Amino acid sequence: DTAVSQTPKYLVTQMGNDKSIKCEQNLGHDTMYWYKQDSKKFLKIMFSYNNKELIINETVPNRFSPKSPDKAHLNLHINSLELGDSAVYFCASSPMGQGATNEKLFFGSGTQLSVL
Amino acid sequence: AQKVTQAQTEISVVEKEDVTLDCVYETRDTTYYLFWYKQPPSGELVFLIRRNSFDEQNEISGRYSWNFQKSTSSFNFTITASQVVDSAVYFCALSDSTGGFKTIFGAGTRLFVKA
């Protein structure tokens, strides 16, 4: 039933490890996003995919690699995790296609990543 | 350049007080969209309202109201007769074509409503 679901909800790992966060939406939306929310609650966009094509790639370390196997899924893989990667990562989707109107974002419940 | 400023970091009110959360935005586009989202203590992000740049009509939804003024580039949010359940972080956000249709968020305003 959940519109945008991401797993896991919590992720605790050691520095240097590689981890993935998965996201799936069942809303039929064209566009999916990853946002990072730091400890001060600041929300910053990382990536956006439209129909499996990367359309937004903010200044994010290349240790972060998004992958979209189809338009309903957008996963985030992080290599060589660092302490500063600790944050809440939100997946989102919207029905907006390129050049279309800017619709609201539907967010997943977030993944709390803690790097020790 | 796109920018959203929420100058109020934290606001604390007593239940039943009215409270206004300020939002000032910057954009070079004539077509843009403004949003408010709520993040309660449980952590999820909840959409509240979307407004396009051509619609300056104010909106009221129950105890919530929004005042959009292009002349001052502001999109303020008022909660009337606040309740403890309104305690949350509230984000104002902007999306325009210059920014590649990405939605950028203000820093958020944390609202505490005390019983």
Q: A30 to chain B nearest CA, in Å?
A: 13
CA distance, residue B33 to nearest chain A CA (Å): 7
Instruction: Compare CB distances from A109 to B43, B96, B104 and report the shortest one's residue.
Output: B43
Which tens digit of pLDDT belongs to each residue from B26-65? 999 888 999 999 999 999 999 999 998 998 888 899 999 9
- How far is it, in rounded angstroms, from Cα A32 to Cα A46? 11
User: Alpha-carbon distance B38 to A104, whole Å?
Assistant: 13
Q: Pick left, alpha or beta for residue B63 (phi over 0 → left; psi -120 to 50 → alpha; otherwise beta).
A: alpha
Give the whole-angstrom CA distance, residue B1 versus residue B112: 32
pLDDT at B92: 98
Q: Which helix (H) or strand (E) covers residue B23, if one does?
A: none
**Would you call B54 an interface residue with chain A, using a CB distance cutoff of 8 Å?**
no
Distance of CA A67 to the CA centre of its chain: 10
Q: Which of B3, B8, B29, B45 to mutate to test the interface with A (most CBs of A within 10 A)?
A: B45
Report d(CA B110, CA B21) in Å as an integer.
10
Contact A42 B108 (CB under 8 A): yes
CB of B88 within 8 Å of a chain A CB? The answer is no
Across chain B, mean pLDDT equals 94
User: Which pLDDT value is given to residue A107?
Assistant: 95
Report the mean per-residue pLDDT for chain A.
91
| 3-state SS assignment for residue A73 | strand
Residue A29's CB is within 10 A of a number of other CB atoms, namely 22
Between these two residues, B100 and B11, which has the higher pLDDT value? B11
Question: Which chain A residues are Cβ-neighbours of B91 within 8 angstroms?
Answer: 43
| Residue A91, pLDDT above cutoff 70 | yes
Contact: A42, B107; criterion CB under 8 Å: yes
β A111-115/A10-13 pair status: parallel
Cross-chain residue pair B43–A88, CB shorter than 8 Å: yes
Alpha-carbon distance of A23 to A73, in angstroms, equals 6
Residues of B in contact with A106 (CB under 8 A): 47
Kindly state the percentage of chain B with pLDDT values over 90. Answer: 81
Instruction: Assign B86 to helix, strand or coil.
Output: helix
Start-to-end CA distance of chain B, whole Å, equals 41
Q: Which of A43, A55, A106 sits opposite B100 (nearest CB)?
A: A55
CB contact under 8 A, A107 and B107: no
pLDDT digits (tens, 9 = 90+) for A59-79: 789 999 999 999 899 999 999
A90: nearest Cα among A27, A55, A41? A41
| C-alpha separations of B12 from A16, A60, B20, B22, B110 in Å | 41, 35, 11, 14, 8
A20: left (phi over 0), alpha (psi -120 to 50) or beta: beta
Put simply, whether A90 touches B (Cβ < 8 Å) is yes
Q: Which residues, 6+ apart, have CB-to-CB distance to B5 below 8 Å?
A: B23, B24, B25, B26, B106, B107
Residue A107 C-alpha, separation from nearest chain B C-alpha, in angstroms: 6
Per-residue model confidence (pLDDT) at position A56: 83
pLDDT given at position A100: 54
